[in-house]
Amino acid sequence: MTSAQPLRKLTPPAQPRNTYDKLPFMLRTVRAAPDTLQRLKDDQVIDLIRDADAEIAKLQALQLRAISNLSVRRRRAPSAASEVALALSITENRAGTIVSAANALIGRLPRMLNLMDDGRLDLYRAMKITDATAWLSEEHARVVDAMLEDRVPGRNATQVRRAAAYAAAKVDPEGAAQRTERSLVERRLTLHHQDTGVTSLSVNNTPTEKATAAYARIDRAARALKTPDEPRTLDQLRADVAMDLLLSGTGGPRERSEVFLHIDLGTYLGLNDFPAALAGRGPVAASVARRIISGSDTTLRRVLTDPRSGQALELSPTRYPLDPAHEEFIRVRDRECRQPGCTRPAQNCEVEATRARGEAKEAADQPVTYCSRHRRLKNEAGWDYEVTPDGIVNVATPTGRVHSTTPPSLDGGRARTNRNRKKSRK
């Protein structure tokens, strides 16, 4: 990977919002002669996958317009979902969800529907937005629609959901807090017996910080048990540890569990109600964040940030020393695995040196957090990783396409972004 070319923000070219446009040349070629696929280069196959996805999104937008039109003809009656279910051979529950999404996109989120028309947002990700904004008034939904127009293209479903949830909580913080409180009232333990002699046990609507800390404890205990002679998978070990903890109170070492909550000083002091962010989960309402940090076992750490970018610059060493290699600061700074699109919390990741971009060949490698899966990927042939002086992580795939992530900002409105571009490889 060369360092001569500067990073640039890619803006996909504007496409006519016309679902009847001809398919891209390569799609038409492969559709007419499927054997052509075998003669394509790797980067052409990737382009084909992306082009096909864009065309699917355009057709989904057309289908949603038709579904909403049918709903209007039926005077929004529930029977419209029944007709859609029969037409598409899906359940009425699924059909009802799609009808609701279609009506929301056309009536409340027209910019998101336009992104679908352009092939830049598919139905799955669009429904993450309709779900996250369903509780908003129409006026607030329109504001969120405008806020997200430039933020959701190029992001995966988890990032889209987080962006939508943050925007919704920011435009209506009081409503977000009330929604959280209503959900907590509905917390429950459920038991579902299956026909195969096994049972599912789940805790629903529990406080996010407690569930995150509980999972972190279970995960650590499971990983400690995963020795070379242990035949159980990590998923099986986590399930077994959780049951042992519930039945006997044992299942692993009784160590402290941590969650990383990122909140600005103004929100902490009650001067504003900007949403906070819980690493690995995403936005939480300001009132929920203040409740979390008021707990008796909560430890606060001061993080100094760059006022322009919101990126972490310094962590106060009030609880732990910053050795070895200030790994704790790296985890607080990165918040999550730095692989584009990965949302695994940094406290469950390892810090690994990554080649630094610089003119000098002896430029020191930079520490970055990666989850176990992406640490392995980083060392596979054909994959290339580097860190720029401003903290951007570039990941080059075997086809030469470069995906980049900016360092996460402690300002949720400037969350880390993903970019991709095509660049020649050496």
Coil/strand/helix, residue 333: helix
Q: How far apart are CA 115 and CA 61, in angstroms?
A: 9
Residue 3 placed within a domain:
no
Per-residue pLDDT tens for 266-315? Answer: 777 777 888 887 776 678 788 877 877 776 666 666 666 666 666 766 66
225 and 370 assigned to the same domain: no
Q: How far apart are CA 94 and CA 84, in angstroms?
A: 9
32 and 181 assigned to the same domain: yes
43 and 177 assigned to the same domain: yes
Residue 8 placed within a domain:
no
35 and 135 assigned to the same domain: yes
Residue 18 placed within a domain:
no
Residue 155 placed within a domain:
yes
How many domains is the chain built from?
Answer: 4
pTM over 0.85, yes/no: no
Residue 417 placed within a domain:
no
Domain boundary among 208, 224, 247: 247
Domain boundary among 271, 293, 321: 321
164 and 88 assigned to the same domain: yes
Per-residue pLDDT tens for 131-178? Answer: 999 999 999 999 999 999 999 999 999 999 999 999 999 999 999 889
234 and 278 assigned to the same domain: no
Residue 15 placed within a domain:
no
> Which has more confidence, 23 or 42?
42
The predicted pLDDT at position 25 comes to 86
Residue 4 placed within a domain:
no
| Residue 56: both structure tokens together | 């699917």
Residue 130 placed within a domain:
yes
Q: What is the DSSP string of 226-283?
A: --TT--S-HHHHHHHHHHHHHHHS-SS--------EE--HHHHTTS----EEETTTEE
160 and 37 assigned to the same domain: yes
34 and 182 assigned to the same domain: yes
387 and 288 assigned to the same domain: no
Domain boundary among 217, 247, 277: 247
41 and 178 assigned to the same domain: yes
Peptide bond before 324: cis, by omega within 30 degrees of 0? yes
Per-residue pLDDT tens for 213-261? Answer: 899 889 999 999 999 999 999 999 999 999 999 887 765 554 555 667 7
162 and 51 assigned to the same domain: yes
Q: Could you tell me the residue range of the domain that residue 352 belongs to?
A: 325-405
| Residue 402: both structure tokens together | 């470069």
179 and 51 assigned to the same domain: yes
Instruction: Find tokens 């951007």 and name the residue.
Output: 392
pLDDT at 90 over 70: yes
- Burial of 179: CB neighbours in 10 Å, binned 0-12, 13-18, 19+: middle
The predicted pLDDT at position 10 comes to 35
